[in-house]
Amino acid sequence: MITLALAGKPNCGKSTFFKAATMANAEIANYPFTTINPNFGVAYVRTKCACSNLPVKCKHCTDGNRFVAVNLIDVAGLVPDAHKGKGLGNQFLDNLRQANAILHVIDASGGTDSEGNPVGAGNHDPDEDVSFLLYEMTMWVHGILDKHWSRISRQSQGKGAVIEQGIADTFVGLGITLEDVRDVALQQKLDLVHANIEDLVPLCAEMVKISKPMLVVGNKFDEAPEALRVKLAAQNVAFASAASELALRNAVAANVIQYLPGDEQFRVGNEVTLSPAQKAGLTKIADVMKQCKGTGVQQAINRAVFELLDMIVVYPVEDENHYCNKQGDVLPDAFLMRRGSTPHDLAYQVHTEIGKGFLYAIDARTKMRIKETHELKDGDIIKIVSAAK
């Protein structure tokens, strides 16, 4: 399953975002380092269900919206010089190893300083926080390479290909390949044979971008001065109000409103009587949603999965005529897969043995057999035929 990590400095709203996205318990407070140990939960990406244009409907979507699970990690806050061990830095960075992508949450209101201390809206430039995480992660990765650089250089005997392989082996835990190292070295015109470890900081920065793509999420955007909003919007920051999303989720749980994560508006339930405080709170949230076309929380998760990671949703079935499994359950599963994946890739994702025994696949919409190397599209419904029992 895809894993996303929430990262950023302390007190920027990561834990509120986490709780809003997962409805899992997470301590929330207005002071740095509320989160010490990482929180683990399940969030969802939202997509149009494939049953929307089928003659049969499934029971796994809501009003034609399918929610597909992803792992979400809320890690401890990061402060400047975390790569040197300041704050909870080393622990934080190690927790990011398992993430496929990072949601870098910043305080768009400028109300907290670089270490997460409250300073009042507009008194800190959030622009500084945008580049800060990449720098800390780059120096963390550079530190890992530094530990192995003498050995790699010594064993290479002046052969660049051996050095490239040594770097790739060092970063294998980050999902870096030999091709990645070669491409970056060529792009940066690096002479790895004669390079010093200090020369490799740009290479490490690129390794971070490849292995841990990031989406900057400007939380608390509703509290941000207009000048800061304009400045961050120019950098394609994804705005969000995690506090608004959490309030809506709680209101849904209390049967006060009707709302699906990612909706641009909510509706107060029939015959629900609201107190003056509830009315005021929901009116404020409605105004926030008009500005952001929603609260931004679901939108940020979707952008991370569908844009950063370039994933598609594919539906495996056993009966291509009725779009169901052997029990008659229509579209029982929805898998996130990288764009460019094939039916054989899908077979392995369903089960290793089914992948090993793969024979062919059928497009359930057209009822046509498709090649093993056929490139799957978002929303495809596929029957896998395998020799595996």
The tens digit of pLDDT for each residue in 111-120 reads 888 778 888 8
Q: Are residues 22 and 101 in the same domain?
A: yes
Q: Are residues 263 and 217 in the same domain?
A: yes
- Helix H segments across 294-342? 297-302
The tens digit of pLDDT for each residue in 155-209 reads 888 898 999 999 999 988 888 999 999 999 999 999 998 889 999 999 999 999 9
Q: Write down the pLDDT at residue 388.
A: 82
- CA–CA gap between residue 302 and residue 15 (Å, rounded): 18
Query: Comparing 86-90, 228-232, 323-327, 328-332, which segment has the lowest mean pLDDT?
Result: 86-90
- CA–CA gap between residue 379 and residue 345 (Å, rounded): 16
Letter for the amino acid at 237? V
Q: Which pTM was predicted?
A: 0.87
The percent of residues above 90 in pLDDT, for the chain, comes to: 64
Among the candidates 176, 210, 244, a domain finishes at: 210
Q: Are residues 278 and 178 in the same domain?
A: no
What CATH number is given to the structural domain containing 204?
A: 1.10.8.470
| Range from 1-5, 31-35, 97-101 that averages highest in pLDDT | 1-5
Q: Are residues 371 and 283 in the same domain?
A: no
Structural domains in the chain (count): 3
Q: Are residues 206 and 324 in the same domain?
A: no
Among the candidates 303, 323, 347, a domain finishes at: 303
Q: Write down the pLDDT at residue 311.
A: 97
Letter for the amino acid at 39? N
- Helix H segments across 84-126? 89-95
pLDDT confidence tier of residue 91, bands split at 50, 70 and 90: low
Among the candidates 210, 234, 253, a domain finishes at: 210
Contacts of 375 (CB under 8 A, 6+ apart): 340, 341, 342
Q: Is 78 exposed, middle or buried (0-12, 13-18, 19+ CB in 10 A)?
A: buried
Average pLDDT over residues 305-322: 96
Q: Are residues 103 and 218 in the same domain?
A: yes
Q: Are residues 246 and 352 in the same domain?
A: no
Q: Write down the pLDDT at residue 198.
A: 92
> How is residue 376 annotated by DSSP?
P
Q: Are residues 111 and 224 in the same domain?
A: yes
pLDDT confidence tier of residue 27, bands split at 50, 70 and 90: very low
Q: Are residues 121 and 9 in the same domain?
A: yes
CA proximity to 219, closest of 309, 103, 88, 306: 103
Q: Are residues 100 and 174 in the same domain?
A: no
Q: Tell me the residue range of the domain where 376 lies.
A: 311-386
Average pLDDT over residues 131-160: 88
Q: Is 243 exposed, middle or buried (0-12, 13-18, 19+ CB in 10 A)?
A: buried
What CATH number is given to the structural domain containing 340?
A: 3.10.20.30
244 and 289 in contact (C-beta within 8 Å)? Answer: yes
Q: Are residues 191 and 46 in the same domain?
A: no
- CA–CA gap between residue 312 and residue 2 (Å, rounded): 12
Q: Write down the pLDDT at residue 29.
A: 42
Q: Are residues 280 and 192 in the same domain?
A: no
Contacts of 283 (CB under 8 A, 6+ apart): none
